[in-house]
Chains A and B, each alone.
Chain A
């Protein structure tokens, strides 16, 4: 009996996403700011929108927040279509790009604002208590009575965060919340944000154009470009299996060599590079002979050596060397492949002896570390 009830109350195995975009487009006059966006956001995850300026990241957030309604398609929250539901009725809160704190209210009043709007009314004592807790979470105890203009940029940022999280929204949207902070503070706040997200269990959707920020904080990243979603995936997926050249160049640094496929063998393919040489790459997307493609080789996949072990390595001249501690970045030049980057672990130099500028070396990579991508920027 008790067992039966227990199973009856268990959650269904397929969870409804907390938010979803279904074929959403948004047009401003002649600008298509969002173009057929399809995305599911699941409960408790930390998702980032990453893309260059003007690619429609803010528009996507505003569609979720309810400041814009889609020209086409549906916005869903908790499985319900909310296309024209006004922002004040959505269980969603936003941290604005420039915080948008109320200048005529104190820090505590700013944070308590959302709770004060609730109907039926929340008792003042409870608001005060929750505000106090929120101040504690963002480490601003004792700042409640301050005015907004008496707070530093980093403090204002935390007030904005507290103002949004105190309402315990189902979905928290953050529009480049760290962009205005200096590097050190940004790093601290990144860690802080992750802690808060884990502690409160709120679903975070963060907008950023800083790839490092997206890579280090998110469970999943949604790469955008010209109003479209290029690829969605975990940071590792995007790094190891970028869908196209655009994603590859946006996530980490990459060397590209353009060429044409001359033969396919299983998941390997031979590519005639434009310099006349033929190399082998990993044909993960299944391109066929004569397809114009781009070979994507990450700098850390390239191996540098003083001798030509396999006999197929490329002879390269070291142009520049940047010591980074546990690894060293080299800019090298090959007669026909041109210049490319190599990232060598400290250990390889310790094993092989130093690689110096103006020295001739041999560079090589495994076919499995050379991903074949479409040459077009997008698919």
Chain B
């Protein structure tokens, strides 16, 4: 607990301080740093738009994938396939992003689109490129909890549902989906929280044009050595995260207690 709270406390204290003449931190008590926040508005805006969109996009791709792995795939191959999905996660995001830099860059997909006659498009250094990188990078993190919840789902419940006259679609909506809500919730929470702090993917695929709060922090702490302002930005980010996670948890538990409405769909 101390390990968790101490760094946050330090950040909070720093955020009320001032920047030293040659960088670093000078103790003070001023709200000046917070007043300065609008200067980083774009970074906040990008993060707060792309993190939820990235989370939902990952979910939309991860769910069918996890469903296939857990339910449809031959049990003998299940684990192998799961490992294949997870392995990329172990290699550095840096290396993997370079592949996307090439693919989305001038000589990659855009060249192909041009070639088949759809005109020239620009993909690299756009929010779209960042989104692609995010979905690709965080997919395993989303797939895994959903896979586990689907894999643990008692197949007899699905048979029971069918036995009681539910079509496969209705069984999916009324039994499968509600019972893997915990997996979906965990996956989304994990991906969302990590995305809020993401800086590598925007830096590589956004090319300095799609800035996240994470990039602002790297900049403030490592380049301009403005610790006080950096701390204010960081504290604000943590605050936003706390609020959104709280709202999110509320929604999920509401879903849990009002499962009846869900099942009536």
Contact = CB atoms under 8 A, between A and B. Distances in A.
Interface stretch (A90-98, A307-315, A361-369): A90-98
Contact of B164 (A66, A86, A114): A114
A100 B170 CA distance: 17
B163 A65 contact: yes
A130 B162 CA distance: 20
A285 to B, nearest CB: 41
Interface in A85-120: 86-89, 92-94, 96, 98, 100-106, 109, 113-114, 117-118
Contacts of A163: 164
Interface in B243-265: 259-260, 263
A244 interface: no
A103 B179 CA distance: 8
Contacts of B161: 102, 113
A87 B170 contact: no
Interface in B159-207: 159-168, 170, 174-175, 178-179
> Counting chain B CB atoms within 10 Å of each CB, which of A86, A100, A103, A167 scores highest?
A100
B164 A104 contact: no
Contacts of A106: 260
A13 B179 CA distance: 50
Given A67-B159, A87-B159, A109 B164 contact: no
Interface in B124-178: 154, 156-157, 159-168, 170, 174-175, 178
User: Which residue among A92, A101, A102, A164 has the maximum number of chain B CB atoms within 10 Å of its CB?
Assistant: A102
Nearest to B262: A104
Interface in B97-146: none
B166 A100 contact: no
Contact of A100 (B156, B167, B168, B174): B156
B165 A88 contact: yes
A105 B263 contact: yes
Contact of A96 (B156, B167, B168): B156
A164 B162 CA distance: 12
Contacts of B259: 104-105
Contacts of B168: 88
A101 B163 CA distance: 12
A117 B166 contact: yes
Nearest to B154: A100
A88 B160 contact: no
A102 B166 contact: no
Given A100-B157, A103-B179, A88 B167 contact: yes
B165 A118 contact: yes
Most buried by A among B154, B160, B161, B178: B160
B170 A117 contact: yes
A130 to B, nearest CB: 13
Contacts of A87: 159, 162-163
A257 B226 CA distance: 99
Interface residues of A, number: 27
B64 to A, nearest CB: 22
Nearest to B158: A100
Contacts of B165: 88-89, 114, 117-118, 167
Contacts of A88: 162-168
B160 A100 contact: yes
B157 to A, nearest CB: 5
Contact of A113 (B156, B164, B167, B178): B164
Given A104-B179, A109-B260, A109-B263, A117 B154 contact: no
Contacts of A67: 159, 162-163
Contacts of A109: 260, 263
Contacts of A89: 165
B163 A93 contact: yes
Given A105-B259, A105-B263, A167 B164 contact: yes
A53 B157 CA distance: 23
Nearest to A98: B156
A67 B163 CA distance: 8
Contacts of B159: 67, 87, 96, 100
Nearest to A103: B179
Contacts of B170: 117
B119 to A, nearest CB: 49
Contacts of B154: 100
A27 to B, nearest CB: 18
B214 to A, nearest CB: 37
A113 B164 CA distance: 7
Greatest chain B CB density within 10 A among A96, A101, A163 is at A96
B162 A102 contact: no
A98 B164 CA distance: 16
Nearest to B167: A88
A187 B178 CA distance: 36
B91 to A, nearest CB: 38
Given A67-B162, A100-B157, A113-B166, 18 more contacts: A65-B163, A66-B162, A66-B163, A86-B162, A88-B166, A88-B168, A89-B165, A92-B163, A93-B163, A94-B160, A94-B163, A100-B154, A100-B160, A102-B175, A103-B179, A104-B178, A104-B179, A109-B263
27 contacts: A65-B163, A67-B159, A67-B162, A67-B163, A87-B159, A87-B163, A88-B162, A88-B163, A88-B165, A88-B166, A92-B163, A93-B163, A93-B164, A94-B160, A100-B159, A100-B160, A102-B160, A103-B179, A104-B263, A105-B263, A109-B260, A109-B263, A113-B161, A113-B164, A114-B165, A164-B164, A167-B164
Interface of B: 154, 156-157, 159-168, 170, 174-175, 178-179, 259-260, 263
8 smallest A-B Cβ distances: which pairs? A114-B164, A117-B165, A100-B160, A100-B156, A87-B162, A88-B162, A117-B166, A104-B178
